[in-house]
Amino acid sequence: MQKQNLPSVRTCLLLLILSTVWLLLGAPLTPDQWRSAPLELRQSMLQLPVRMHYIFSRWYGTGLFSSAQAEAISTPILRVWNTEQRRVQLLPLEEYVQCALAAEMPAHYDPQALRCQAVTARTYALHASLLYGGNGCDTVASCDVCTNSSCCQAYADKELQQSQWGAEYSLFHKRTSDAVHATEGLILTYEGLPALPLYHACSGGLTENVQEVFSQSLPYLISVESPGEEAASTYSDHVVYTLEEACTRLRSAFPECGVEPDSLASQLRLQTATSSGRVGTVLIGSALVSGRELRAALDLRSTYITWEADNRTITFRTKGYGHGVGMSQVGAQAMAAEGYSFAEILQHYYPGTCLTRIP
Ligand SMILES: [Zn+2]
C-alpha cells in the first residue's frame, strides 16, 4: 500500500490540544465573536507573523523575513476603493491617513488641529477595517473604506495634493506628514474597540448628539460646547429664496406637502428641536420632515436653521457647516490656538474615549 502524505499523529494531537485550549480559554471562533473580541486580541493575531519572525531571529540568528518585509507586514494595509478611478488600492495605513488628512482639513491649520484630524482619520479607517472587526465601506463591501467623503472619508493622492496646494505643496505636504508621524499608530478607542470618530467642518458653537442625526446612541458622541468658532467663514450663512423658488424646492422634495407661495410663511412650522437647538422636525404644509431632509431640500449648510419671510422672499439662516456630530474642525483649530494639545482637544470632542497606540 502506498504511503499517503498525511500529517503525523503527533501533529494531529498537537492541533487537537491547541484547539481544546483555545475553546477552554473562551477565545473567539465565529466572525461575530471575532468582531466583538478585544482589540488587543485581534492585533495579536495580525502581529503573529512578525512576532514569529523576531522569535526565529533570536533562536536561529536569521528571521523569516527581511527587516523591511517584517515592517511591511506589521503595518496594517487598507483596501481602499478609489471612487473616482473605480479601482481597489492597497495602502499602508499611515500613507492613507496622510491622504485623508490632506483632503479633509485645511493644511494651514495649527499642528495640534492637524494631529487631531490625523488621529480621527486613522481611527475611522480602523473602525471600518474588516481585519479589525469593522463592517467595511457601505458602498463596496469588500473594501475597508472608499474615497467618497459622503460615504467614508475624502482622499487626496499625491497628484491631487499637488494641484490643490500648487506652489505650497512642499510646505503643506510636510505639515500634514508631520502630523501623521507625530501621531503614528494612535487611535481613539472606546471599551477596547476603535471608536467611531465622526467630525464636521464647523458646529456653530454646540455639537450635536449622534442619535439626533444617525439614530444610534454612542456615549462619546454627545453634544458639547465648541467655543471660539465665531470668526470662521463657516460659522454662519444665509440663503435667500423667492417664495416661488422655495415652494418649488419643497414641493419637489416633499410632493405631499402642498405649500403655496402666498401662505408659505405660515405653512412652515417648527415641530421639535434637538437638544442642541437644531431643527429636529418641521411641518411643511401637511408633510412632517426631519431637519436633515429640510437641509437637503433647501441646500443649506446645517440643520441649525431659522427662517424669516417677507411678502416676496424667505431667508434661511444657518449656523455651522455639516452634521454637527463629534469633532468640529473649526473648534479644534480654535482650541489649538488657545494652546490645547491634540489629546486634550480629542478628549473634549470625544469624552470617555482613550488615546491608544496600535502595536
Ligand atoms: Zn465608503
pLDDT in tens, 206-236: 999 999 988 789 999 999 999 999 999 999 9
- Name the band, by pLDDT with cuts 50, 70 and 90, for residue 109: very high
For residues 296-318, give the mean pLDDT: 96
How far apart are alpha carbons 265 and 261 in whole angstroms? 8
Report the C-alpha gap between 265 and 290 in whole angstroms: 18
CA distance 344 to 334: 13
For residue 340, the CA-to-ligand 1 centroid distance in Å is: 32
- Decide: helix, strand or coil at residue 205: coil
pTM: 0.82
Surrounding residues of ion ligand 1, Cβ less than 5 A: 137, 139, 146, 151-152
CB within 8 Å of 198: residues ≥ 6 apart:
210, 221, 323, 325, 326, 327
Distance 272 CA to ligand 1 centre (A): 31
Residue 146 CA to ligand 1 centre (angstroms)? 4
**Measured in angstroms, how far is the CA atom of residue 227 from the centroid of ligand 1?**
31
* Cα 140 to ligand 1 centroid, rounded to whole Å: 7
Q: What is the DSSP letter of 211?
A: H
What is the per-residue pLDDT for 133? 78
Cell numbers describing residue 228? 471660539
Over the stretch 244-294, which tens digit does the pLDDT of each residue have? 999 999 999 999 999 999 999 999 999 999 999 999 999 999 999 999 999
Buried b (16+ CB within 10 A) or exposed e, 250-271: bbebbeebebebeebbebbeee
CA of 85 to the centre of ligand 1 (A): 14
DSSP-derived letter for residue 308 is E
Per-residue pLDDT at 134: 85
pLDDT confidence tier of residue 49, bands split at 50, 70 and 90: confident
